[in-house]
């Protein structure tokens, strides 16, 4: 047996005295208990804090999305304006071609003028003829639309070469 071991008992008493137990419990027990009101207040503040962060983030995302939508809408509007949709060059060409065609020159004076429209209107009113030759716009009907077509051809400003007569449309 060494000298060190000789300083201890062979069967030491492992029982802790009650006094020591009480002292230890007193020393390490929680100093104060947290009342439930404080717990709820802390929880509320935490909830409000994180809710605000979530709302701010969502609003910021919404703002970016709205900006992109506005930019896209502006681009569409500008593109539409750049197309200049009010121009109808094809219609102008049709009227000018008709103005030089023999199909609408009913009095055979070599040009289409308002008297040709007048004579067509008179013939349609009197129902003297439903000939396909009077179907100026080629829609299968002989009516006031054909008269308008001849009248608009008469006032057309667009120059055109002499058309091939009936069937230019």
Please report how close the Cβ of residue 136 comes to other proteins at its closest, in angstroms: 14
Both tokens of 6, joined, read 């000789």
Say whether residue 125 binds other proteins (CB under 8 A).
yes
Say whether residue 67 binds other proteins (CB under 8 A).
yes
Say whether residue 122 binds other proteins (CB under 8 A).
yes
Nearer to other proteins, 46 or 71 (CB): 71
Please report how close the Cβ of residue 43 comes to other proteins at its closest, in angstroms: 36
Decide if 153 contacts 98 (C-beta within 8 A).
yes
Three-state SS annotation for 83-149: HCCCCCHHHHHHHHHHHCCCCCCCCCCCCCCHHHHHHHHHHHHHCCCCCHHHCCCCCCCCCHHHHHH
Query: By rule CB under 8 A, what count of residues binds other proteins?
Result: 28
Please report how close the Cβ of residue 157 comes to other proteins at its closest, in angstroms: 5
Alpha helices, DSSP H only, in 8-110? 18-28, 36-83, 89-99
Provide the binding-site residues for other proteins, judged by CB under 8 A: 64, 67-68, 71, 74-75, 78, 82, 92, 95, 107, 113-115, 117-119, 121-122, 125, 148, 151-152, 154-158
């Amino acid at each position: 047996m060494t000298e060190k071991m000789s300083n201890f008992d062979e069967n030491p008493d492992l029982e802790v005295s009650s006094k020591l137990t009480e002292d230890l419990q007193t020393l390490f027990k929680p100093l104060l208990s947290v009342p439930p009101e404080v717990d709820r207040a802390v929880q509320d503040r935490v909830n409000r804090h994180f809710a605000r962060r979530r709302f701010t983030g969502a609003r910021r995302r919404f703002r970016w999305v709205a900006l992109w939508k506005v930019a896209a809408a502006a681009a569409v509007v500008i593109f539409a304006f750049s197309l200049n949709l009010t121009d109808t060059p094809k219609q102008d060409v049709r009227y000018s071609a008709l103005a030089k065609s023999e199909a609408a020159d009913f009095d055979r004076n070599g040009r289409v003028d308002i008297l040709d429209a007048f004579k067509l209107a008179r013939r349609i009113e009197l129902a003297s003829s439903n000939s396909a030759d009077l179907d100026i716009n080629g829609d299968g009907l002989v009516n006031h639309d054909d008269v308008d077509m001849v009248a608009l051809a008469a006032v057309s400003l667009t120059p055109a070469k002499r058309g091939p007569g009936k069937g230019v449309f």
